[in-house]
Amino acid sequence: MSTPEHSPLGKTTVYADRYDPSLLFPIPREQKRIEIGVIEPLPFGGVDIWNAYELSWLDARGKPQVALAEFRVPAASPHIIESKSFKLYLNGFSQEKIGTPALHDTLVRDLSAAAGAPVSVTLSAPTAGGHAITDLSGALLDDLPLDIDDYGPPNAGYLSANHNATPVEETLLSHLLRSNCPVTGQPDWGSVQIAYRGAPIDHAGLLRYLVSFRTHNEFHEQCVERIFVDLMARCAPERLAVYARYTRRGGLDINPFRSTDPAAEPANLRGARQ
């Protein structure tokens, strides 16, 4: 079975320290996409960027090696990979003797098979450059003086745009995104960047909408797709990109990106909370 309740989430787990690709638990994207009205062809392109901070293995002489890993899972893949199973799988390399090129190729093969589409893998030394903290850009919504008392479920009724006004091109940012794991109920904290061109979106309504995810139970990727679909339906921008950077749990962070431009891919920025 590949539904969340059959995953390792929320269950007592023995942490294997040997390589085992069967630990990976794929979950179909289709059911949640049908729920929000997404059918083929997809109305967006994009990618899910995963960062792993707890990857270690043994070299040929038995000496431990460590690396930071970036994984890019295409939004068009039929499956997401459940995050605890991903962590268990990565931990399985901790006592394996394997060369770095072979490790890279193994990760590509196994993760692509689980996702059902090619997954790119980049390994880098923890001392390498390019890991500096760089927060998402955009006009911050969080300081708007609002009284808010709606914390879920997500309420797209807050979203609106002024179609009588001159179109604008702007990037908006909030650090107030919070949702919950649909299996364990654990909170997921994130920052979200919304870049669009079109009729001006009401900022106060957008912030109220984002806060209304606060008690909602859904995986990261599904939340971002819901935001994208609701903005397109209620505000009809000419162009839209939604990028969420979530805080890490268990040595992994997940950062979904969805865009009307099927070729767009974001930089892998590491925020202050990551």
Catalytic pick from 48, 110, 181, 253?
Answer: 181
pLDDT digits (tens, 9 = 90+) for 61-106: 999 999 999 999 999 999 999 999 999 999 999 999 999 999 999 9
Catalytic pick from 105, 110, 143, 188?
Answer: 188
Active site residue 188: yes
How does residue 19 score in pLDDT terms, banded at 50, 70 and 90?
very high
Whether 220 has a binding-site annotation, put simply, is: yes
Whether 84 has a binding-site annotation, put simply, is: yes
Whether 198 has a binding-site annotation, put simply, is: no
DSSP the chain: --SGGGSSTTS------S--GGG--EEESHHHHHHTT--SSPS-EEEEEEEEEEEEEE-TTS-EEEEEEEEEEETTSSEEE-HHHHHHHHHTTTT-B--HHHHHHHHHHHHHHHHTS--EEEEE-TTSSS--B-PPPSEE-TTS-------SS--GGG--B-TTSPPEEEEEEEEEEEEE-TTT--EEEEEEEEEEEESPBPHHHHHHHHHTTTT-B--HHHHHHHHHHHHHHHH--SEEEEEEEEPPBTTEEEEEEEESSTT------B-TT-
Whether 254 has a binding-site annotation, put simply, is: no
Whether 80 has a binding-site annotation, put simply, is: no
Whether 190 has a binding-site annotation, put simply, is: no
Token pair in block for residue 126: 């923890």
Asked if the model's pLDDT at residue 132 lies above 90, the reply is no
Asked if the model's pLDDT at residue 7 lies above 70, the reply is no
pLDDT digits (tens, 9 = 90+) for 183-239: 899 999 999 999 999 999 999 999 999 999 999 999 999 999 999 999 999 999 999
Active site residue 150: no
